[in-house]
Amino acid sequence: MEALLAAHAEAEAEGDLDRPLLARDPEGDGAVDPADDLLVGHALGPWRLEERIGEGGMGTVYRAHRTDGAYERAVAVKLLRRGTDALARRLAAERRILGRLEHPNIARLYDSGVFDGAPYLVMELVVGEPLVAYAEHRGLSVDERLRLFLQVCDAVAYANHHLVVHRDLKPSNVLVTEDARGRPQVKLLDFGIATLLADDGAALTQAGGAMTPAYAAPEQVRGGTVTTATDVYALGVLLYELLTGRRPYELGGRTARQVERIVCDVEPPRPSQASDPALGRRLRGDLDTVVAKAMAKEPDRRYLSAEALAEDLHRHLDGQPVRARAPSVGYHARKFAARHRVGVLAVVAVVVALAGGMGAALWQGRIAQEERDTAERRFDIAREAAQAMLYDVHDVVADLPGSTPAREVIVRRSLDYLGRLADEAGRDDALRLDLASAYLRVGNVLGNPNDHNLGRLDDARASYRQGLAVLPIAPPESLAISAGRLRGVLYEKLADVTAYRGDPEGALALMDSALVRYRGNADAEPASSEHRLTLAIGHLKHGDYAGNPNFPNAGRPEDALRDYRDMLVLLNGVPETADPNRLLRLRGINFERLGSLHLAQGDPDAALDAYTRSLAIREALAGRDPASTNVRRDVGVAHEKLGEVLRAMGQLEASLTAYEAAVAIYRGLFETDPRNAQARQTLAVGLLHLGDVLGGPPPSLGRRADARGYHAESVALLEPVIEEDPANAQAQALLDEARRALAGVR
């Protein structure tokens, strides 16, 4: 031991151990050691090395500048361990692929080459602090750490979509810088380098490929197949350490066999268990579950992608149920109540009042029939309570995310109460209007294809017909306007169902009947903004079923164009103060419909102008009413329409961006309200179009493998719609189209 120490001291004095032999020539020809400080000032191709700034298991990093002046900013040059001729060829080929990773959270790869047998890579120079250290030094809260981590997920998802897997995600490869405003910005380093090196066998820390064991997935440790699921696992480990300040496993000093056993077989403590009690309470529940799913031992039990992991973290931050947890009524109810505390309290109060009022009315009616006046008063109270549930409570929750099942309960209970009251009231025309309105709302929840619904067209049609049947044939003058409007709306909803069942001509006939009622009301009360708006919507629907290519239509585009222009005239006659949000939404819809007609008639420039105006209007409305699911869906539709016209104009990358924005919105709406058939069908259509621009028939980007996944997901979403409601001809046509698209990219 003393001799060894003495030899060590002697060698250290000579300085030999200060220079790792990264590229020692095996033939002993005296090749220059590229890790030596003597390389500072030397040129590697067009890059001049200025300063050694770091070392690691893969090699040495230098600050450098380009010698020919073609690139002014400083870069980082990483000299890797000695490679092979095959690696040099791969670097040249893959440089073009990795150079296309243009993402604000990924350090760019600019160039590559070989110096004296050692490959080098030229990358964006990032001056920052490792992710976990940055969070610890600034005492970031859990929510702040999650928002920082979401940038990491976004970068990984982007690269994975471009078929690049990192394989070596760890805190030292995730630096945090700050922009001019002091906002943190994540930068991922070495993206794609690990994949390149592993294929050549260079710079391996384990037999399974380039990796760091503490962050490696079980399949990496075993030497199995590496996929995007491997990056998802590493993200889970990174999130664990970011939240708790410690790694899930301590592998220091372990043998390779011990490391494999721990990583592959041992379940780490949950983040809440690895933290102090105060932090543990914050992490317990959703975050424990999210991390556990990301770090599942089997790849198929993890999140399908970095996007899916990010989506669950977004849902957690928004107070919504995370997909990693098994669905349960209690869990979803707690999340819903936490997000809508005031609204839920109001609903509970009304329900309690309704139950109390209704119970009192029926009980008193049975035991005190001779007290006619008292019974009538209680009858009125019960009716008012039912109306409050049907109109006030239902309409408040109708546009909230995930409210479709709750709406069904509200309208069915209200309908039951009103029906029992009608049996007692006899020929009460006002009560008949309430009953017809209840049937209308039941039909909307069951299967109105233009609203959040349960996907049951035939049941919806039966409910609308019941509503028409209970309406008074000759209502008194005081109820004539209300009865006429309600009859028109029921005809309109029947038209919606009829069109989606594959009969646009029948839908037009029903819309004609609706327009007669709407026009009659508008003529009777010409100063009413409500009547003008209702008539405008009638023309919108008539135009949709006359000739809009995006709806089941009768092939009459000229009639559709006339309807949409009539709609715009009506909207322009409504004062801005009447109902500004509704008015703005209808204008956005009008421009969208005009754009579709222009595109179908071969005028993409006019379509692009109309779609752009529609998107601007809808985004403005989303700023006013961000909680509305209808408004959010409208913004998604506007992006989708832009994607359609941009694809037709050959602007494929811009089209892809627009479709991706639409699908992100649609997916959020569907995951919030999975029983909503409209949300399911809308997402399926968006995925179908996204797949088409990626790899469908020309014009497309030719990325058939990417397209295949989106087309398959579209088919999987549409098949349950048809199983639930075989009468949905629109969904069947979409399913047939999605299946053809999937077959075309296989």
Residues belonging to the active site: 168
Cα–Cα distance between 257 and 293 in angstroms, integer? Answer: 25
Burial class (CB in 10 A: 0-12, 13-18, 19+), 428: middle
Please state the three-class secondary structure of 408-439 as a single string. Answer: HHHHHHHHHHHHHHHHHHCCCHHHHHHHHHHH
Strand (E) or helix (H) holding 186: strand 184-188
Two structure tokens written together for 30: 């005296």
Cβ pair 487, 468 in contact under 8 A: yes
Read off φ and ψ for residue 698, nearest 5 degrees: -55, 145
Cβ pair 468, 440 in contact under 8 A: no
Two structure tokens written together for 418: 């009103």
Cα–Cα distance between 209 and 189 in angstroms, integer? Answer: 18
Compute the half-sphere exposure of residue 287: CA atoms within 13 Å on the CB side of its CA. Answer: 26
Cα–Cα distance between 245 and 270 in angstroms, integer? Answer: 13
Q: At what angle do helices 341-367 and 372-387 cross, to 10 degrees?
A: 160
Q: What single string gives the DSSP state of each residue in 219-230?
A: HHHTT----HHH
Two structure tokens written together for 229: 């699921």
Give percent helix, percent strand, percent coil of the chain, each to the nearest 5: 65, 5, 30
Burial class (CB in 10 A: 0-12, 13-18, 19+), 473: exposed
Cα–Cα distance between 510 and 177 in angstroms, integer? Answer: 62
Adjacent-strand bridge partners of 78: 61, 121
Tell how far CA 733 is from the center of its chain: 25
Sign of the alpha-carbon dihedral angle for 41, 43, 48, 53: negative
Adjacent-strand bridge partners of 121: 78, 112
Strand (E) or helix (H) holding 120: strand 118-124
First and final CA of the chain: distance in angstroms?
66
Cβ pair 655, 671 in contact under 8 A: no
Q: Report CA-CA distances (Å) from 136 to 131, 241, 242, 386.
A: 9, 11, 8, 55
Read off φ and ψ for residue 556, nearest 5 degrees: -125, 75
Cα–Cα distance between 185 and 178 in angstroms, integer? Answer: 6
Two structure tokens written together for 604: 């993409």
Amino acid in position 561: L
